[in-house]
Chain A
């Protein structure tokens, strides 16, 4: 059951993440951010729908395309922007960059660029919760290429064996860098099917449908807390921009996918679909949506400006935090 209030709240979060990513991507073109960045435009509904189903005390881990998850779990645009600018006030003190984000206060523990690593760490946090008899859940967001790494299957086996409260969330966007799923994984052995073989309950969902993601996540979270067992969600979604960087592939004349394919997915934009639902069902008016978006954009612009004006880390602190 999604109340109008909850949908509005999630929609505002969807807008915050969309506008933050769009703003950062535009700013990225000015060569002020020296960190390889994987923008998550187009994939916002998955983290927003999932994190809305989690408690603040639950934890989340993510991968190289991690801004969406960091923000949806409760991370600040200001500290994300500061991290991308390499400032001392960045969420990782300017030592991590785009792919190594953290905000422990809101339960976003870490993101890592080496795919299944973060899945393993998430599984480990779930082991800790299980040992303590805690009702906390550990969440791992990852892409489809993780299903090509061995450590992923080790985690599935272990989570099932040890009854760990892990929520595995595969954001299947069909590409690993420029490599399509079809040449990487056997077509007849779906990722969900492989996971199910580990006796883990699974569900496939339209990752661009905010309400569907939220409902699936509630089912997953409820099952995990009730049964003390893992759960797997496969969310079909699509990244709009190039693998790493702020441009559309067609702007750089890349040919691994067509502009028509991208346009087709952009027509299924999760923000637009959510907005249409709100307007069609009389929950919000187009004017209200526009007003909210303008307010959110103004806050983002202020956050980004503040982050940009923050100080650099002092090179004298280079050796801090090694141990």
Chain B
């Protein structure tokens, strides 16, 4: 086992996949700059200069260009340094890419494209540099939506995305880029639709996506010290969703909190709440609790921003409240934010 940063794991996956498959190319704004998307494309840019090239700011057309290239046998990887720019791609992504196989009856071939979207947070990123549209995208049949939270998962899931036969949207939280974790020397692709149990516990199930999975483990570790067993489930992909893992855990704990990196209304946390109320209602000992962004756009000013984002202490407090337990003060558990800007 080696310790690798999240951004290094992503880079490793790209290098390994591009070494094996010369149909993969990488483009997007600034992918070929020395900074290489926060370090994640710098190595492939150096190793495969013909297959890693910058793209103009044309997010609308390029999603369709990726489809047309994929239809001829390429495997485009299109990188959005900020996921918010992905909104410009929604036409080609949602009307064409994710329907391509179905609406031509399987006769127009496959369009294996990978869209890497980096989600910003903190240091005043503000309303339009901090959004994660994974829930609206997961709404659409034909797409696969991936949100890895650990370096090993980032690598294994990206390897799988780069050999998948359909469009994959891959959300990478900017805050995770410098986090470290164990990454096996050799990794196989991790299949989609299999959740990872990050912590085992018997008192409460905490389903958490992306950065919130990291916050959830911090909360779980603290609560364990207080004698409370929290099972942290990172779904890793929300389409397909590992319903079994969530339902099995709730059957064991009877309590569910869902923490997500986006908003609550019509969001992923609501989806899991609906799933459990429909298929696991009789196991629930208390109402499901959703923890998501405050119901407003992301503000810039520090005190406002701090109030906007839930964190480990938010989850720990919510868990104690749900379990009706008086716990020790959890305010001090939050990790220090290494991110010093600007973007």
Contacts and interface: CB of A to CB of B under 8 A. Distances in A.
A119 B76 CA distance: 17
Contacts of B144: 323
B104 interface: yes
Given A123-B65, A124-B65, A131-B25, A109 B71 contact: yes
Given A100-B104, A154-B60, A121 B74 contact: no
B170 interface: no
A114 B95 contact: yes
Given A114-B96, A125-B68, A127-B68, A96 B61 contact: no
Nearest to B107: A102
A95 B65 contact: no
Contacts of B102: 95, 321-322
B166 A151 contact: no
A282 interface: no
B104 A92 contact: yes
Contacts of A122: 68
Contact of A138 (B68, B101, B108, B142): B68
Contacts of A61: 68
B68 A322 contact: no
Interface residues of A, number: 46
A294 interface: no
B13 interface: no
A120 B61 contact: yes
B67 to A, nearest CB: 5
Contact of B105 (A96, A138, A155): A96
A112 B96 contact: yes
B64 A151 contact: yes
Interface string A93-104: 111100011111
A323 B68 contact: no
A106 B102 CA distance: 20
A131 B142 contact: no
B91 interface: yes
Nearest to A136: B72
B105 A90 contact: yes
A313 B248 CA distance: 37
B106 A93 contact: yes
Contacts, number: 146
Nearest to A121: B68
Contact of A322 (B25, B63, B96, B141): B141
Interface in B125-172: 141-142, 144, 165-166
Interface string A127-153: 111010000001000000000001110
B105 A323 contact: no
Contact of B69 (A90, A118, A127): A127
B65 A127 contact: yes
Interface string A219-238: 00000000000000000000
A161 interface: yes
A104 B68 contact: no
A116 interface: yes
Nearest to A323: B166
A200 interface: no
Contacts of B51: 131
Contacts of A104: 107-109
A247 interface: no
Interface string B83-108: 00000000110011000111111111
A201 interface: no
Interface in B188-220: none
Contact of B65 (A94, A109, A121): A121
A323 B192 CA distance: 12
A124 B70 CA distance: 8
Given A114-B95, A120-B92, A131 B64 contact: no
A89 B105 CA distance: 10
A124 B64 contact: yes
Contacts of A321: 101-102, 105-106
Contact of A121 (B60, B71, B73, B107): B71
Given A96-B103, A151-B91, A323-B142, A124 B67 contact: yes
A24 interface: no
Given A93-B104, A121-B65, A123-B68, 7 more contacts: A94-B105, A95-B104, A120-B60, A120-B68, A124-B64, A151-B61, A158-B56
4 tightest A-B contacts by CB? A93-B105, A124-B68, A120-B64, A121-B68
Interface of B: 25, 50-51, 56, 58, 60-74, 76, 91-92, 95-96, 100-109, 141-142, 144, 165-166
Interface of A: 59, 61, 90-96, 100-104, 109-110, 112, 114, 116-129, 131, 138, 150-152, 154-155, 157-158, 161, 320-323
18 contacts: A95-B104, A102-B108, A104-B109, A109-B68, A109-B71, A110-B71, A110-B100, A117-B96, A120-B65, A120-B67, A127-B68, A128-B74, A131-B25, A155-B61, A157-B58, A321-B101, A323-B101, A323-B165
